[in-house]
Structure 1
Amino acid sequence: MAASVAALVRGADGSGRASWTGAHGPDAVVCWASVTKIFTAALCHALVDAGSLTSRSTVTELVGVDAPPIMTVQNLVEHRAGAPVLPPGYSHLTEDNYGAWTAQRFDEQVMGRLADVATAVTPRSVPEYSNVGYAVLTRSLERAFRRPWIDLVREHVLAPVGVDPGAFAVGAPSSTVLPPAVRTLQARGRLRRRTLDDWDVTTGPFAGAGGLASTVPAMADVLDRVLDQGGPLHPGRTPHAWSVDGARAGVQGALMRSGSIVLVDTDTRSVGVAHVAGGLPGWGDRLASRALRRLVESTGART
């Protein structure tokens, strides 16, 4: 059972309903995990629109490293660039496999050997989900434009739709609503307990794969503006990180101990957003989806 839940649905006229339990509340800052990817994809669209790059720009062209030709902006956005699913050394669900990946380490061990890191030489016909691919994309943009990823997102994605760019940041696990948790380990015949922290996707380029943070209402505000105004974050733009089914589009995200979901309906211009902290490790996105579904059913909304 989830320890803490936030869910919010909102119609085109601004009407809606929200539900807060546990440590969640309208002012609680949460980490959106892989929902972040739609903002990284939107940043690429914005830069293409500005003429700063093209969807066919390669990592080699952007930053001058030796990378397979399939590593283009579009292929990285679509998870078709042959990047591995997980970072080197990934071990177990309950260990933090992202926090140690500073920009310097990522440059040395991933960007500096992309030809070895790649798992394919031609674009994948079926996408293979890759956090590493989005980290490569994030780091390529940072190096090409000599600015942190979050600053680029604030300028090119958030500010143009009229929301406060400062309401979004790269959020550390300590800034989320996660309650304390421990797990029991058995070692040498003894039971030991240790603190179970969430994954930290904030220290380097994995921020662009899963590190965006804001309040739940702030996320809903951005989606409202995008449905009203269009722009690079709109799910109608392709290629993108949204999962689209007709007028409905959504994306889910999960860290070890938290998860999220955002849904939009481009016909009704309605928005649904949920975040969960706690519960079974790796189940956060499913718990958030259930929480949002319950709220939608209670309101009769379409999203």
Structure 2
Amino acid sequence: MSRLSQGDKVRVGVGIAAIVLILMIAASGWSGLFTRWFPVIQIGGFSIGSKPVSLEAPIDRSESFAASEVDDLDIDWKCGSIRLVAGDGDQIRVIERVAAGDYEMDPRNATFTQEGKTLKIDDGLPDSGGTYPHMELVVEVPCDDALMFGNVDIESVSSTIDVERVVSEDLSVASVSSNITLDGIRAQDASIGGVSGPVEVSGEVYEALDVSTMSGGVYLTLTEGAPSEISVSTVSGAIELDVPDGLGFTLAADTVSGGLSTPFELNTVDEDGSYVIGDGACDIDLGSVSGRIHIA
């Protein structure tokens, strides 16, 4: 397989940006996209797209669920913050906090429900129609290395996302605009996608790690072992990958403006132009249109 020319890479980057825009339009509809980015239009004192809600007292509530009865976590929390952290005991504790104030969207409709073995956490907000309220979510899971979730799925529009010491078979995080930090995770497969905002991941991934962003740096630290596949792509942002000592890998790295740096000796090249270090067991594919790439 031949390498892309710089012109081809630029076209690929532009194509990715266009695809993301089309997907955003398809997901929310023209009216939804318009009201998301231009949420309120004032016409003679009348607001289109807003439904003001006055919250006289803050929301501060929590609910607990038996961890032994939950296999999967499904979180849809559009704006504010999401923290998934290790807690005490054998319960999963879900905490919601919203400050008192006036809001265009009603922040009082969040739900925490268990459907079979799946715990669903939803902010209850529409996909469009106004400015999202800032809603804080904390999910505490038992601090037990033996506890492994099946699927952990987190979706957001602009919530800051912090995941600490969570163990799962399949970890998926998607956000339009936010900082994503996954610290001390252990997962069979991990997939992280975003449009803007940095992504930081540390921990262990055993099978496949996939990260895709448009604008934002990607910083990955694998503490022990390594997946069989690592794929990272960004249009505008640096990529930094720290791999475990002694890891053998096959590296394909493409950047138009940014360059590649590494302390490894990149002398051995296979037939498609990739660099082979050691036994080449881990396939690493890193691509950035505008941003440096560093692997150590």
TM superposition score category, shorter chain reference: under 0.3
TM-score, normalised with respect to structure 2 = 0.25
Structure that is richer in helix per residue: 1
TM-score, normalised with respect to structure 1 = 0.25
